[in-house]
Amino acid sequence: MNLPALLFSIGWWTLGLVNGIHPECRLQLELHKEEIKCMELLKNAKTVGFKGCVGIWDNITCWHPAEIGETVTVPCPKVFSNFFSKSGNISKNCTSNGWTDIFPDFFFACGYKEVDEDSAIFYVLVKAIYTLGHSASLIALTTGSIILCLFRKLHCTRNYIHLNLFLSFILKAISVLVKDEILYSGSNTVHCSEDQPSWVGCKGSLVIFQYCVMANFYWLLVEGLYLHILMVIFSPNRHFALYLLIGWGIPTVFIIAWIVSRVYLEDTGCWDTNDHSVPWWVIRLPILISILVNFVLFISIIRILLQKLRSPDVGGNDQSQYKRLAKSTLLLIPLFGVHYMLFAVFPIRISNNYQIIFELCLGSFQGLVVAVLYCFLNSEVQGELKRKWRSWCLNQRMGRDYRLHSSSISRNGSESISQLHRNSATQFSLQTETTVI
């Protein structure tokens, strides 16, 4: 596959990744916009003395005024052609009794399909799974971040980068959960208020969501850059300020550009439509670049690892070397986000259900996997935790022994004093008796 085709494939995939609106919400918003246009059009139509059928908006399509006996044919609503990728025409007859029903069948002509029960259950399960995944990732990443911050011996450039990556995953998980609550709150599956007095909260949640997603991709890129520099130059510790600039600064610049393009080019609804190409590419092109660069770094690092394993200085047979290479590769995949390239090399129209399961369900657990591999299973982290545990157990044991020893001394001291008092009393009694004699 050539590079333009690859970019287009990733672009199509990324559309689903960072789009911030439920399809039914988007559908309702588009229909609402079409209704406003229709009302403006019909307002200018002549109705005085007109004996035919007046223009109407039937909640789907705009029908202009027609004479009795006239057949009006219009293309399927634009919104349906966008969602269901089938263009067709629908018609109505104007009779003395008014408009007839639409023909041919609207669902057939425009490609609209009702969501069946199985599909509804599928999407509910997907939402439940990725909510669970983000929640589990949030707990694991927060715990891992606390561990990396508490132990001073773990403070180094590598772990600082891990810590920022953890933070980007945490922010991404929180933004997803908050976005879902804002967009889809309520008893229904979808929450799409058309007469909302203000979209500020909704737009704000989308801005934060887009920033967190992009920052997460760029901290994955920073991990790749750091490891590549470490293997090639062996001195990556001087570049931490640059890593911070890449991880948090670049997304900030592009998000500001995206906000400006939205305000001037497509300030509609909750900023979750993508009708204008400029805002669409402003938010997606940086993500595509980070994915491609990280994939190139991943291939380069695997090549370097293979060369090092084949070096005569490295012992072991071929089988053990390939096992080590396979282990290193598997460990690097979640850290580099290489799995994001999977659907980029397949045909675009691969099964949507498989793609949804992979990107939303499995992708939501990426933070959990990264936290486990690069914190909880890290030998340095485990060593510090064991040392802290042994120290705590030793302090507990010493404290218990000290309390027992103090109690014993106190008890023995009391007995000695009592014995001393008894001896003194006996001696005093003997002296008294002697004096009397």
pLDDT exceeds cutoff 50 at 215: yes
> What is residue 73's three-state secondary structure?
strand
Higher pLDDT, 83 or 291: 291
pLDDT exceeds cutoff 80 at 350: no
Whole-number pLDDT of residue 111: 67
The pair of three-digit structure tokens given for residue 7, joined into one six-digit string: 């970019």
> What is residue 195's three-state secondary structure?
coil
Mean pLDDT value of segment 180-200 = 54
d(CA 385, CA 375): 11
32 shares its domain with 102: yes
CA-based end-to-end distance of the chain = 125
Mean pLDDT value of segment 280-299 = 88
pLDDT exceeds cutoff 90 at 404: no
Mean pLDDT value of segment 295-323 = 72
Whole-number pLDDT of residue 205: 83
Judge contact between 54 and 32, C-beta under 8 A: no
pLDDT digits (tens, 9 = 90+) for 119-129: 778 778 888 88
Degrees to nearest 5, angle at CA 222 with 217 and 226: 155
pLDDT exceeds cutoff 80 at 423: no
Burial readout 341-360 (b: 16 or more C-beta within 10 A, e: otherwise): bebbeeeeeeeeeebebebb
51 shares its domain with 73: yes
**Chosen domain end from 110, 132, 156:** 110
Higher pLDDT, 270 or 159: 159
Tell me whether residue 400 is in a domain: no
63 shares its domain with 83: yes
Tell me whether residue 403 is in a domain: no
This prediction's pTM? 0.68
171 shares its domain with 204: yes
Confidence of residue 84 (pLDDT cuts 50, 70, 90): low
The pair of three-digit structure tokens given for residue 248, joined into one six-digit string: 């948090």
d(CA 24, CA 109): 20
Task: Average the pLDDT over each of 15-24, 106-115, 202-211 and give the range with the smallest value.
Answer: 15-24
Tell me whether residue 8 is in a domain: no
186 shares its domain with 44: no
d(CA 295, CA 332): 11
Residue 68, φ and ψ in degrees, nearest 5:
-60, 130
148 shares its domain with 68: no
Tell me whether residue 228 is in a domain: yes
Q: Which helix (H) or strand (E) segment is 136 a member of?
A: helix 117-150
268 shares its domain with 346: yes
Whole-number pLDDT of residue 41: 84
The half-sphere exposure of 211 on its side-chain side, counting CA atoms within 13 A, is 19
**Chosen domain end from 94, 110, 126:** 110
| Domain span including residue 79 | 24-110
Whole-number pLDDT of residue 189: 40
134 shares its domain with 44: no
Task: Average the pLDDT over each of 70-79, 167-176, 276-285, 370-379 and give the range with the smallest value.
Answer: 70-79
Confidence of residue 412 (pLDDT cuts 50, 70, 90): low
pLDDT above 70 as % of the chain: 66
Task: Average the pLDDT over each of 35-44, 80-89, 97-106, 219-228 and give the range with the smallest value.
Answer: 80-89
Higher pLDDT, 65 or 136: 136
284 shares its domain with 321: yes
Beta bridge partners of 325: none
How far lies 5's CA from each of 8, 277, 345, in Å?
A: 5, 18, 9
The pair of three-digit structure tokens given for residue 74, joined into one six-digit string: 């219009």
Is the bond preceding 251 in cis, omega lying within 30 degrees of 0?
Answer: no
151 shares its domain with 244: yes
Tell me whether residue 157 is in a domain: yes
pLDDT exceeds cutoff 60 at 199: yes
d(CA 379, CA 259): 43
The CATH code of the domain that includes 198 is 1.20.1070.10
**Chosen domain end from 84, 110, 136:** 110
Mean pLDDT value of segment 147-166 = 89
Other beta carbons less than 10 A from residue 170's beta carbon: 23
Tell me whether residue 419 is in a domain: no
Whole-number pLDDT of residue 6: 36
pLDDT exceeds cutoff 90 at 396: no
Tell me whether residue 296 is in a domain: yes
Closest-CA residue to 11 (of 266, 287, 274, 272)? 287
30 shares its domain with 124: no
Residue 72, φ and ψ in degrees, nearest 5:
-105, 125
Report the C-alpha dihedral over residues 76, 77, 82, 85, rounded to 10 degrees: -10
Domain count, the chain: 2
Whole-number pLDDT of residue 191: 47
237 shares its domain with 329: yes
The CATH code of the domain that includes 35 is 4.10.1240.10
Average pLDDT, the chain: 75
d(CA 166, CA 144): 8
Degrees to nearest 5, angle at CA 376 with 316 and 231: 45
d(CA 261, CA 274): 12
pLDDT exceeds cutoff 80 at 402: no
Whole-number pLDDT of residue 86: 60
Tell me whether residue 183 is in a domain: yes
